[in-house]
Amino acid sequence: MKEIFPGIFRKGNELYTVNAVPGKRVYGEKLTDNYREWIPDRSKLASAILCGLKEMPVKPGAKIVYLGASTGTTVSHVSDIIGLDGIVYAVEFAERVMRKLMDVAKDRKNIVPILADARKPEDYSWVEECDVVYVDVADPQETELSLRNAEAFLKKGGYMLIAVKSQSIDVTKDPKLVFKEESEKLKDYKILQIVDIDKYQKDHALVVAVNQ
Ligand SMILES: C[S@@+](CC[C@H](N)C(=O)[O-])C[C@H]1O[C@@H](n2cnc3c(N)ncnc32)[C@H](O)[C@@H]1O
């Protein structure tokens, strides 16, 4: 197993993080010694790593605002990576999935679950300034929502990671055009990379931008 980014390990085409809760699974993933498999079909961030992500701002000690946390699949790996010096503010508005997220957070002290609408960052304005704003909400207004949250919480030099699904923005357009148009809206940010993750997540890309 080779460490490809701090706290992220690769063996062939498999990714792993070090399990912060040894012996415990979050979503049926494989456990090997102290490692937890990070399944790309279940996580856009894992997909992006396997599809050539060049910079990984989710690293030990990082503070993250995570929008669209769902049941905590990806959030749990973010929690493994950032460790106890980092923190992930996990925003989710669906109560049903929030319950599972709360269970995951019970074992992991660096996850702060927030039941809120990511379109209204003013409702969780107490969140501190962060290194990363990660967005995976599958909303037609996703880019606008990301900008509003970045304005509220992202530090200068911080990163935005936005999982864009072309189908949820405009079903009639070619995905490549949708990704290009969405990234053009991030005009005050420098786009570092648009990672095509279609291999694992149909019609998705991960846009990586920095707040300069
Ligand atoms: C594709 S799933 C996220 C999967 C998750 N990021 C992962 O990798 O484990 C999208 C989630 O965003 C949530 N969501 C959609 N719009 C939202 C909003 N405006 N505020 C908060 N959560 C939202 C949905 O309820 C859903 O759980």
Residue 6 gets the label, from left (phi > 0), alpha (psi -120 to 50) or beta, of beta
Q: Which ligand 1 atom sits nearest the alpha carbon of residue 45?
A: 8
Q: Please determine, for residue 69, whether its predicted confidence score (pLDDT) is greater than 90.
A: yes
To test the ligand 1 pocket, which listed residue (17, 58, 66, 92) has its Cβ within 8 A of the most ligand atoms?
A: 92
Span from the CA of 70 to the centroid of ligand 1 (angstroms): 5
What is the model's pLDDT at position 177? 80
Span from the CA of 2 to the centroid of ligand 1 (angstroms): 31
Q: Which ligand 1 atom sits nearest the alpha carbon of residue 75?
A: 9
What is the model's pLDDT at position 172? 78
Q: Is the CB of 137 under 6 A from ligand 1?
A: yes
The answer to whether 99 and 31 are in contact (CB under 8 A) is: no
What is the model's pLDDT at position 30? 97
**pTM of the predicted structure, to 2 decimals:** 0.95
Quick one: which of 87, 138, 144, 86 has its CA closest to 114? Answer: 87
Span from the CA of 29 to the centroid of ligand 1 (angstroms): 20
Span from the CA of 169 to the centroid of ligand 1 (angstroms): 15
More confident residue, 128 or 202: 128
Q: Which ligand 1 atom sits nearest the alpha carbon of residue 134?
A: 6
The answer to whether 38 and 16 are in contact (CB under 8 A) is: yes
> Containing H/E element for 141?
none
Spell out the residues 6+ positions from residue 149 whose beta carbon is closer than 8 angstroms to its own. Answer: 65, 67, 118, 121, 133, 135
Each domain of the chain, given as residue ranges in start order, spans 40-211
Span from the CA of 179 to the centroid of ligand 1 (angstroms): 19
What is the model's pLDDT at position 212? 85
| Per-residue confidence band for 184, with pLDDT thresholds at 50, 70 and 90 | confident
The number of residues in the chain equals 212
| Per-residue confidence band for 140, with pLDDT thresholds at 50, 70 and 90 | confident
Multiple choice CATH, 40-211, 3.40.50.150, 3.30.70.270, 2.40.30.10, 3.40.50.2300: 3.40.50.150
Q: Please determine, for residue 175, whether its predicted confidence score (pLDDT) is greater than 80.
A: no
Q: Which ligand 1 atom sits nearest the alpha carbon of residue 73?
A: 9
The answer to whether 102 and 109 are in contact (CB under 8 A) is: no
What mean pLDDT is predicted for residues 100-115?
97
